[in-house]
Amino acid sequence: MEDIQTLAKTPDHHSPPVVNEERTVAIVAPQWLQDGLAVVIKTIPHLQLVACTGSINTLLLLDLERSPDLVVLAIDAPYTKDRNPIRQVKFVHPHARYLVLIQEPTQSAGAHGDGADETLLQGASAEQFCEAVSRLVRHNQVGS
């Protein structure tokens, strides 16, 4: 009988950790895209929007209480290696996951090469956006 009680108290090592901690999200996107992204982010449980700006420089200068766990970054135009928006933000927030919203599928490989964890076309549905955010946040929780 004693052995059964001991086994009952042993934690199940096969179940994934339960994390209810809020994850933080920062958005860098043009004004026309910011509001829609912010509304969708606010519908996802356990996510807190800590910054929503149209400028990478503004994000980098913000005195955030906590570094974002996820950065949603919209790429509007081709960029050069010396003015690379993904690497600029990654330098300041190295532990964040990066969802990069691209205008053309051809930008995906470059974005991944520069540090994007996932890319999504800017015209994607709210459902696709939620799925991508949820995948990245889930991955971040397991890796914490």
For 41, the token pair is 């982010």
Residue range 59-84: mean pLDDT, rounded: 80
pLDDT of 14 above 60: no
- Model pTM? 0.79
Greatest distance between any 2 Cα atoms in the chain:
69
pLDDT of 101 above 90: yes
Highest mean predicted confidence (pLDDT) among 1-15, 74-88, 92-106: 92-106
DSSP state of 85: H
